[in-house]
Chains A and B, each alone.
Chain A
């Protein structure tokens, strides 16, 4: 075969354009940072926004097809998730800038790392190859390990980063081990090939495939913080800087779910009867652990961390449904959750003040009387997390449980719905404190929110309400992108 056939074509580059833009911007920021004279403000934030804004249309118009010898595949799902992580990136940048200024830590690395992490996630969601998935996961993870410990003088940041790094590496090792077994069993790491091997006349031994699938599932379950692999999540999400937590609960999670959908609903669909029960149990356990642990929390970041675990459980319900509607529901939910959770964390970021002093729920007492607009926005996010109609979260839950009922998962649906009623309790507590208590010292000293942060908050709120009133906007997109 002539060497030219291995070289990437222009079409390949066009499909890879969003990643290219983001990578170039990231590298540029690193250089600019090195050359920046002491004492001058960095404009890396601006460049990051610019790169993301450019990458967004590039991702949206990328033509379907495969790139780089079938290593990447741009399909509806890839486009959906690429768009999602880029939008997530934008909102996170807007909510980070004020935070970094406040902590006097504004420097280019933060933005460069954020961009690299997004690049990793873009690769993950478009990878059609286990090795590519692994590479994408590593790009994304390594950048996010550093982000989690970005304030290096802060003990909690360090703890979060260390925990995230150690357990994350463990998870990646599991995944890699699973990839090796999968290669041994099917002779390929290409997702399409794996599926072909499974439905061929001489399928590989089930034990081998079973071990491979289990190891891959464990690796990904770590990343999406599904029970019983959720132990790291509360500490990390609590310890990391608030905007980074917002990013971690949304971006890497969405990417890991995309991989989960691609591998399990796509390649491993022929052995679905084997993995469905495991996902079933995992989904239920995740919902229960997340919701019941969240009830006891008094720190709002930790509460949102547990709630994030619970929400991963809901998405797993959609995965367990193992159907086209299930994957659409999962995608819609991840989009809805992205807006909602980034918004909620953005309000927390605004509220927590320098050094994140005010992160106890009680500190929010009387917020509605001093800054009614911020309180109203947080109310919208919390109602969306509860799943009250006319917010994105409601339709997310609705589609998930609809998919589950379609797949005859009646008990999982009933238990999931009851779980969401339990969840109402701890979200309501925040509302109670915000609206029904007299303002305390923490609220009295609250400065008005910065302009960029306001963009993040209002942007997320607009997304949350828009998806809650006109869900078709995203749903049609997801429908085109369904894995089956």
Chain B
């Protein structure tokens, strides 16, 4: 049993424990368990601290089902490491921000939160396609309940929409996974990937494209990529604060992670061929998301649409097939997790005070709550990509990668950065500046200790990730280089064969 197994199963154990424990202690128990998971998960950093191994670490591989051969195969690499840490960091924060916000059916709430953590960590570490699918679906169920039970007025609509969108995408992915199994006799990602790389598994162009699309559809819905994003604003607006936090910061990353981990290395040819289309959708998403965010009267909806815009950058970065683009994409996944997560928390703080998400209900908050305003300002600046804060690094890398792949794309994508400054600063201005009304001042106490505790780690990370990217980037780069390598080798081979044939034909003609 490796450390990774412990990190994975500790939340599940916590979930079961919470079901047994009395209701009164579930808050504290969930916090303690999730903090314990986080502390243990820090141990995963050990192999990555002084060096940057390119292969798997903490891998464990046990047979689960004999026929078809499904294995419990989990492992960590430079890509999943940070996403796992992001999940384990945000779960205790989610438990903290729910402390007073959730007052009914507390036990079930925290139980679902831990089950969700189990599901998402599983998604990031599964190295068996089947196991990956299992975790993918398992993570869906607790989020469905989190939105549906503890959400706002239209929660049921949002929860069902969320479930059905994801389900519709993932069943086709299941079909593709079964198809891959039928061709290869294994679900093991490493084995299948190796077969593709060495050329012992070759698809014809049409099959490869269909398989690619089946995977891509599932991930694109989760990301969400324009035009499949419509479930996201609903889910975010209706979800409780911690639900939005986990959804934006962790679950959306499942989609981009899937693209990077499965879509690109398994079907490189199809990925390259469809890259222009996907890049176009990503750019539309960037600009569309930003423009729609600009006109939102509802804060949470604004942040939700900004997510569509930010995630567009991630997808764009992946489909540039450049080292910088991929590095930027992964870094941006983490950044978005931190800064948008923080925005959702802060919006949640405002909501707990004023019980409204409408921007027009605020104004002049800076006077009664200066600390809240400062933190919100830092987060806003991080979100719009101010240098020395985290998003700058990611966006810069993505744009650089994009520019080297296709300069025109970079120009349009850069518009998104400008728009993000517009909508975020305007939001800040309308909410925090001006003169506070009498009723608002009364209901706007400054941050409490608990609220500080939840937000400070994120603010620290914003600065850290913006100023010392070296802590994070090297291990990510090593992994991305491997992924790029996997796609490139194959392309050279594939291109080389017809080229030689034409050469022979032309020689014969001569």
Contact, CB under 8 Å: B67 / A413: no
Contact, CB under 8 Å: B181 / A402: yes
Contact, CB under 8 Å: B164 / A425: yes
- B165-177 CB mask vs A (1 if < 8 Å, else 0) is 0011001101100
**Nearest-neighbor residue (CB-CB) of A435 within chain B:** B149
**Nearest-neighbor residue (CB-CB) of B137 within chain A:** A389
Q: Does A479 contact B (CB under 8 A)?
A: yes
Contact, CB under 8 Å: A421 / B175: no
| In the complex, chain A residues whose CB is within 8 Å of the CB of B105 | 369
| In the complex, chain A residues whose CB is within 8 Å of the CB of B148 | 431-432, 435-436
Interface residue ranges of A404-450 to B (CB < 8 Å): 405-406, 413-414, 417-418, 420-421, 424-425, 428-429, 431-432, 435-436
Contact, CB under 8 Å: B182 / A405: yes
**A436 → chain B closest CB, angstroms:** 5
Contact, CB under 8 Å: B145 / A413: no
Segment among B35-43, B152-160, B190-198, B259-267 that sits at the interface with chain A: B152-160
Q: Does A401 contact B (CB under 8 A)?
A: yes
Report how far A472 CA is from B63 CA in the complex, Å.
11
| In the complex, chain B residues whose CB is within 8 Å of the CB of A479 | 67
| In the complex, chain B residues whose CB is within 8 Å of the CB of A470 | 65
Please judge, given known A-B contacts A436-B148, A479-B67, whether A428 and B179 are in contact too, CB under 8 Å.
no
Q: Which 6 A-B pairs have the closest CB atoms?
A: A389-B134, A417-B171, A421-B168, A402-B178, A436-B148, A389-B137
| In the complex, chain A residues whose CB is within 8 Å of the CB of B144 | 428, 431
Contact, CB under 8 Å: A428 / B174: no
**B67 → chain A closest CB, angstroms:** 7
Report how far A402 CA is from B129 CA in the complex, Å.
14
| In the complex, chain A residues whose CB is within 8 Å of the CB of B351 | none
Q: Does A398 contact B (CB under 8 A)?
A: yes
Q: Does B141 contact A (CB under 8 A)?
A: yes
Please judge, given known A-B contacts A432-B148, A472-B66, whether A405 and B178 are in contact too, CB under 8 Å.
yes
Q: Does A471 contact B (CB under 8 A)?
A: yes
Contact, CB under 8 Å: A388 / B141: yes
The main secondary structure of chain B at its interface with chain A is: helix
Contact, CB under 8 Å: A424 / B182: no
Option from B65, B174, B175, B181 in Cβ contact (under 8 Å) with A472? B65
| In the complex, chain A residues whose CB is within 8 Å of the CB of B156 | 432, 436
Q: Does A475 contact B (CB under 8 A)?
A: yes
Please judge, given known A-B contacts A406-B182, A425-B164, A428-B163, whether A389 and B133 are in contact too, CB under 8 Å.
yes
**A392 → chain B closest CB, angstroms:** 13
- A67-99 CB mask vs B (1 if < 8 Å, else 0) is 000000000000000000000000000000000
Report how far A421 CA is from B160 CA in the complex, Å.
12
Contact, CB under 8 Å: A398 / B171: no
Q: Does A476 contact B (CB under 8 A)?
A: yes
Interface residue ranges of A435-484 to B (CB < 8 Å): 435-436, 470-472, 475-476, 479
Q: Does B68 contact A (CB under 8 A)?
A: yes
Report how far A471 CA is from B141 CA in the complex, Å.
21
Please judge, given known A-B contacts A402-B182, A405-B178, A417-B171, whether A428 and B160 are in contact too, CB under 8 Å.
yes
| In the complex, chain A residues whose CB is within 8 Å of the CB of B163 | 424, 428
**A155 → chain B closest CB, angstroms:** 35
Please judge, given known A-B contacts A390-B138, A436-B155, A472-B67, whether A405 and B167 are in contact too, CB under 8 Å.
no
**B311 → chain A closest CB, angstroms:** 23
**B243 → chain A closest CB, angstroms:** 13
For chain A, the count of residues having a C-beta within 8 Å of the partner chain is 34
Interface residue ranges of B317-348 to A (CB < 8 Å): none
| In the complex, chain A residues whose CB is within 8 Å of the CB of B140 | 388
Contact, CB under 8 Å: B172 / A414: yes
Q: Does A374 contact B (CB under 8 A)?
A: no
Q: Which of B138, B174, B181 has the most CB of A within 10 A?
A: B174
| In the complex, chain B residues whose CB is within 8 Å of the CB of A428 | 144, 160, 163-164
| In the complex, chain B residues whose CB is within 8 Å of the CB of A248 | none
Option from A418, A435, A471 in Cβ contact (under 8 Å) with B168? A418
Q: Does A383 contact B (CB under 8 A)?
A: yes
Report how far A421 CA is from B140 CA in the complex, Å.
13
Q: Which of A369, A383, A436 has the most CB of B within 10 A?
A: A436
Contact, CB under 8 Å: B149 / A436: yes
Report how far A222 CA is from B160 CA in the complex, Å.
34
| In the complex, chain B residues whose CB is within 8 Å of the CB of A418 | 168, 171-172
**B261 → chain A closest CB, angstroms:** 19
| In the complex, chain B residues whose CB is within 8 Å of the CB of A471 | 65
**Nearest-neighbor residue (CB-CB) of B165 within chain A:** A421
**B21 → chain A closest CB, angstroms:** 14
Contact, CB under 8 Å: B164 / A417: no
**B156 → chain A closest CB, angstroms:** 5
Report how far A402 CA is from B130 CA in the complex, Å.
12
A-B pairs with beta carbons under 8 Å apart, 15 shown: A388-B137, A388-B138, A388-B141, A389-B137, A401-B175, A402-B182, A405-B182, A413-B178, A424-B163, A432-B148, A435-B145, A470-B65, A472-B67, A475-B67, A476-B67
**Nearest-neighbor residue (CB-CB) of B63 within chain A:** A472
Report how far A166 CA is from B381 CA in the complex, Å.
74
Contact, CB under 8 Å: A383 / B171: no
Interface residue ranges of A39-57 to B (CB < 8 Å): none
Please judge, given known A-B contacts A388-B137, A401-B178, A402-B68, whether A420 and B171 are in contact too, CB under 8 Å.
yes
| In the complex, chain B residues whose CB is within 8 Å of the CB of A406 | 182
| In the complex, chain B residues whose CB is within 8 Å of the CB of A420 | 171
Report how far A62 CA is from B37 CA in the complex, Å.
52
Contact, CB under 8 Å: A417 / B65: no
Report how far A420 CA is from B149 CA in the complex, Å.
24
Given contacts A436-B148, A476-B67, 14 further A-B contacts (CB under 8 A): A388-B140, A389-B133, A389-B138, A402-B182, A405-B178, A421-B164, A428-B164, A431-B144, A432-B156, A435-B145, A435-B148, A472-B65, A472-B67, A479-B67
